[in-house]
Chains A and B, each alone.
Chain A
Amino acid sequence: MSKYIMFGEELLQWLQNLAKESKVLAPVKEEYGYTFAEWDKKSLPGDDYRNTLKPPKDLFFPQHETLLKYEKIKGENPLVEVPDIPEDKRVIFGIRPCDASSLVLLDNIFMGEDYVDPYYEARRSNTLIVSLVCRTRGKSCFCEDLFSTKGSDILIIKVDGNYLVEILTYRGEAAFKGIGSKEADEKIVKKADKLKRTQEEVLDKDIFEKLRTIYDNPIWKQLQEKCVNCGVCTFLCPTCHCFDITDDKRGKKVRSWDSCMFASFTKQASGHNPRPTGTERLRQRIMHKFYYFPEKYHDIACVGCGRCVEKCPVNLDIRQVIEKIRGCLDEKSLSAI
């Protein structure tokens, strides 16, 4: 697809144009970090913008969402109402390519062959994804490719103060057409290509074959030793999608984020818990991302955004977990799985 160049103010003008028809969400600086909020229609994220505090899954699969509303009426059948499917057109500007690719992973879950989540699907189809490439990796980042196009409709790369705009989908094309921007010249394209080629090596996240053999390995107990089983890593993970469904007392059936790290997650009403300790729970999180998910959907459920690394209260660094797993001996393994 096409590539364009935008100079300084042009990006702003284009976004202002988009904002006339759609709700534009952009990284907005709050007291404790960046968050996606309605764009102020005048400023672009500053140089200190690394990534948003919360992952963008929140914009498609909100932390809590009403699935059904109901009213109980004495002596009559209850009234049950399904909330409207969201219809507003949105643009997410400034999302990082790692996070954009997480949406493609989530699509496997919420827009599967057998069941489709109507709320998630509506938001996905109403939202244009305009991602902004990072200039360098942050200290806790370990994405494979800074310039990944996965999940983006439009990818914007800042080169020498101007913007190289790569159109990746028809939806992206439609949002860009007719604004009179110049097609990117060879010089800027070459420069961007060079940036793409000269990325530093990062951690190899493929531990699939190793995981096949270490389900019963004592390494899991060791790895989880300092874990406190809170939900930081899973709630801030752009690909973690576990949820609970509960009824509140005020007439709503609510879906809310849940976490495989919580003891209550798999505990049955009888008291039996298939994952009774932190060992099974950490193993589940790692196996899910690097073995179960790839086995089902042929992709690792970790995009390397580094939020879990940055925010873990005890500095349990998933990069070290990956390396320790890669290095562990598999003599005490079950080859059953």
Chain B
Amino acid sequence: MSVLNDIKLKAKELLEKGDVDVVIGYAKGTLNGKCTPYFVRNANDVENLVWENGCDINLANYLLKISDKAAVIAKGCDTRSIVNLVKENQLDRERVVIIGASCPSTESCQKCNHPDPVIADVFLQGETKVNNDDFSDLESFSKLPSEERRNYIYKEVSKCIRCYACRNVCPACYCKECFVEENLPAWIGKTTNTSDNMIFHLTRAIHVAGRCVGCGECVRACPMGVDLSILNRKIMKDVKELFNVESGLDLDTKLPLNDYKEDDPQYFLIGGEKCE
């Protein structure tokens, strides 16, 4: 039977047995090609669940918002976000039932190398895609003259209207009060001048360093088409090379930038080793 059918059966079972209060999944959206988060509280409503191209929103975010015992239908990136949230003590693993299935998306996230869930309580095998573990996009970008790279980042950043959709959909951005909202002191101006926008985007990129799982939700959420995934991917690559860690793959490895080891590479610190 189809993965969707298995999802529905499992969701129904969990709700009927009273194991969970809510199952978080996707329903058909109102726009073409877009699915929408769907909260099933009544077992009969599992019929509205879908699992298809367009189920791309990272649902891990919602686990922080609700306090009920929840099941979540999760693809690779959602489970990686969940892993990180558990590791950062934002989420109690016991409170969540993960119904894992391979990512149904057919077009987005070309560079995704983990379409399959990395943890799950119930793993429903889907059609696993070939792993695509390369950073060739970064290689070609880094070959561009610095002026061109700079212009690209400036161009993207200047489109931003500071609606914070990228931040609010990001499971790694869970701060109760974001630095942009603090006013004692105010770290950043409220304009959409490139300088203010730059502070926002660069700080966010650095703040999710080692925690970003590359789900791409920030890019999809942006109403203005800002795409700074190249920054996130560069940091991801650095973290992988420096610490030999890919974010959110298991519950045991500590998040590299949340941990300290004496032999940590630290060329990026002031007075640290010189980088090539």
Contacts and interface: CB of A to CB of B under 8 A. Distances in A.
Contacts of B169: 228, 230, 313-314
Contact of B31 (A225, A230, A309): A309
A146 B126 CA distance: 46
B29 A315 contact: yes
A63 B161 contact: yes
Interface in B187-236: 189-193, 217, 220-225
A32 B31 contact: no
| Interface residue SS majority, chain B | loop
A133 to B, nearest CB: 24
B163 A248 contact: no
Contacts of A31: 225
Nearest to B32: A139
A140 interface: yes
Contact of A246 (B29, B34, B159, B186): B186
| Interface residue SS majority, chain A | loop
Contacts of B31: 139-140, 309-310, 315, 317
Most B CB contacts (10 A, CB to CB) among A64, A230, A319 go to A230
B191 A230 contact: no
Contacts of A32: 159, 224-225
Interface residues of B, number: 39
A99 to B, nearest CB: 16
A290 B35 CA distance: 27
Given A313-B57, A313-B221, A230 B165 contact: yes
Most A CB contacts (10 A, CB to CB) among B32, B192, B217 go to B192
- List the 9 closest A-B pairs by CB distance, nearest first: A32-B225, A313-B221, A231-B163, A311-B223, A315-B36, A230-B165, A64-B191, A256-B190, A230-B168
Interface in A220-272: 225-226, 228-232, 234-236, 244, 246, 248-249, 254, 256-259, 262-264
B161 A228 contact: no
Nearest to B181: A264
Interface string B16-47: 00000000000001111011111100000000
Contact of A64 (B38, B61, B177, B192): B192
Most A CB contacts (10 A, CB to CB) among B66, B168, B220 go to B168
Contacts of A231: 161-165
Interface residues of A, number: 42
B237 to A, nearest CB: 26
B36 A316 contact: yes
Interface in B85-143: none
A54 interface: yes
A229 B57 CA distance: 15
A309 B221 contact: no
A31 B159 CA distance: 10
Interface string B40-72: 000000000000000001000110011000000
Most B CB contacts (10 A, CB to CB) among A225, A263, A316 go to A225
Nearest to B41: A222
B18 to A, nearest CB: 20
A228 B39 contact: no
B12 to A, nearest CB: 20
Contact of A262 (B61, B164, B191): B164
B39 A225 contact: yes
A266 to B, nearest CB: 12
Nearest to A250: B189
Contacts of B217: 313
A232 B220 CA distance: 13
A232 B226 CA distance: 13
Contacts of B220: 313
B39 A54 contact: no
